[in-house]
Amino acid sequence: GRQPQQKGAPGAVPQTPASLQPGDEVVTEPPAQKIVNKKATFSGLDKITGRIINFDEEIGETVQFGALRVKTDACYTRPATEATNTDAFVEVDEITLQGEVKRIFSGWMYAASPGLHGVEHPIYDIWLTDCKEPQQTVATAAPDPATKPPPPPPPAQKKAAPKQVQQRPPQPLPPIQQQQPAPPPPPPPEQRPGLFGIPGFGR
């Protein structure tokens, strides 16, 4: 009856501690973080000439590429602590030969997967390549998590302690020196303490 007590799946042992590491708790928060950018960068292809043109445009601005007008409503990137995921909400209109405006694309473009949601046009192709000039983070406005991912939970206590220790030693020294010269000045008891600095001022 001892055999059933033995653990026959040693492979499951390393998995459980890995899922309980404190670092995994931090990973659950960042997916909601999106950094808002002021500009979007696109590449445009003229299929007839084979030329590729790179152009930037500000959010809300409309840029004309050939017979297409490209407008970006939003461009998001992710913090450095996360996997790269650059996407933008783009509206593309075609100016027909008759001068009419025809909406040929409206949706999200992903820089990592240009062909996932692409502009379908016989002559032109446009895809998102990057976002520029980060403005703010939607989930958390603090830039600290991007620069220092691991520290959050434990190091907070370690950081606070050394700062206090360094500040304490210089503080007690000056007060001791200030207390010594302070008592001697007022020799005459009759004069008020506020006038002792000017002897013989009144009479």
- Tell me how many domains the chain contains: 1
Asked if residue 104 belongs to a domain, the reply is: yes
Asked if residue 54 belongs to a domain, the reply is: yes
Asked if residue 155 belongs to a domain, the reply is: no
Q: How far apart are CA 123 and CA 47, in angstroms?
A: 5
Asked if residue 129 belongs to a domain, the reply is: yes
Report whether 77 contacts 70 (CB < 8 A): no
Domain range for 118? 30-144
pTM score: 0.50
Report whether 69 contacts 63 (CB < 8 A): yes
pLDDT tens track for 133-189: 998 665 444 444 444 445 555 544 444 444 444 445 445 555 544 445 555 555 655
Asked if residue 153 belongs to a domain, the reply is: no
